[in-house]
Structures are given as C-alpha cells and as structure tokens.
Copies of this chain bind each other. A is one copy, B any other.
Amino acid sequence: MSKSRLEAFTDGVMAIIVTILVLEIPEPKGTTFGALWPLRYKLILYLLSFLTVTVYWNNHHHLFQITKTISGGVLWANNFFLLTISLMPIATAWAGSHTEYAAPEATMGIVFLAVNISFYILVKTLLAAHKPDSVFTKFFGQGSRKSWFSMGMALGGIILAFIWPPFSAIFCFGCLVPWIVPDHRVDRYLKKQQ
C-alpha cells in the first residue's frame, strides 16, 4: 500500500494543528508597543505549540522516509496519533495561562503522554508491517529508548503537577528534547543511498 496519501493527509492535518494558535492571536488593541504586552502569553504559547507539533512532524517525516510498506493497521495508528496531537494546542493554551495550578498542568502532561504513546504504537504497527530483515526493522526494531524516556518524562510531569505545578511544564517540554534531532542513523543511511 502506498504511503504517499497517508503522508499527505498527515501533512494537511498537522499544517492546521500547527496554525490553530496563530489564528487565536488577535490584532493588538492600541498603537504602542504596550499593546503587544497583553498578547505575550498567546505568542509564547504559539511558539511552544509550534515547536511541539513541528518536533513530532520532523520525527514522523524521518519515520516514514524509510517506511517501505503500510497496512490498514498503520492507517489507524496514524489517525490515533493525529487525534492525540490535535489536542496539543488547546492543552498547551490552558496550561500556559495557568502555570500555578495542578489541573491544567496535569492535563497537558496527559496529552503529552498520549502523543508519545500513540507515536510509540505507530512505530510498533509499522514494525509489524515490515519484514524482519527490512531497513525499517534494522533502525526501529531494537526498541525506542527515546519513546520510553519521553513517556517517563510526561508521567513525571503529570505527578509533579500535583506537587509543584510550574515544574511540571519543564518535564513535559523536556520530553521533546531527544526528538529535536531526529534519528541520526536514518539521516546517515539516506545520505548513503543517494
């Protein structure tokens, strides 16, 4: 089954998700730089949401660069991933405007955890669709330490939300760190293929 439409649909949905929060930045009311001040949270949240979604987009991109075959299961795993990541902007927005409270921070943590779980499931479903001797299995078959690290961080963020809320966000966004640079081995492999 061809992967090109799954990629196109994913790109379309993620393009919308990534721009949801920019649509919510209103025109500043006033004519001084002070008029930008009330928008500072919305701007920062847009940056964070943009960063988060593009980090996952980059990794999705790398994942499918070496994907050779997909299955009905992969379609559904990908849809589930899109569903979880589509909740990211609103969760980030709520947590960002209430950094001192447990519920918004914990909710953001839960969404981060869900995104990481769904990405993990996506990788596993892709593994099942590939033969054991495929390039994909070679790169992603040995388990994904990144995924376990991120799920742990998100879980830590959820727990911390009830103890010291502002610290929770650091754990949540911390789970992005290993994903900022997508898989080096994939990069190197693709460079050799040229």
User: Which residues of A, 131-159, contact B by the 8 Å Cβ criterion?
Assistant: none
Residues of chain B contacted by A1 (CB below 8 angstroms): 65, 187, 190-191
Cβ distance A34 to chain B, nearest Cβ, rounded Å: 8
Given contacts A58-B79, A182-B72, contact A101 B17 (CB under 8 A): no
Residues of chain B contacted by A187 (CB below 8 angstroms): 1, 71-72
User: Which residues of A, 73-100, contact B by the 8 Å Cβ criterion?
Assistant: 75-76, 79, 82-83, 86-87, 90, 93-94, 97-98, 100
Residue of B nearest to A87 (CB): B22
Q: What's the number of copies of this chain in the assembled complex?
A: 4
Residue of B nearest to A17 (CB): B19
Provide the A15-59 mask, 1 if CB < 8 A to any CB of B, else 0: 111111011010110011111100000000001001000100110
Residue of B nearest to A101 (CB): B31
Tell me whether B90 and A22 are in contact (CB under 8 A): yes
Given contacts A8-B7, A93-B27, contact A83 B16 (CB under 8 A): no
Residues of chain B contacted by A72 (CB below 8 angstroms): 58, 62, 181-182, 184, 187
Cβ distance A185 to chain B, nearest Cβ, rounded Å: 12
Residue of B nearest to A86 (CB): B22
Residues of chain B contacted by A103 (CB below 8 angstroms): 31-36
List of 3 A-B pairs having minimum Cβ-Cβ separation, nearest first: A12-B15, A31-B101, A54-B79
Give me the interface of A with B, judged by CB distance under 8 Å: 1-2, 5-9, 11-20, 22-23, 25, 27-28, 31-36, 47, 50, 54, 57-58, 61-62, 64-65, 68-69, 71-72, 75-76, 79, 82-83, 86-87, 90, 93-94, 97-98, 100-101, 103-104, 106-107, 181-182, 184, 187, 190-191, 194
Cross-chain pairs A/B with CB under 8 angstroms, 9 sampled:
A8-B8, A9-B11, A20-B23, A22-B90, A28-B104, A31-B101, A33-B103, A72-B181, A75-B182
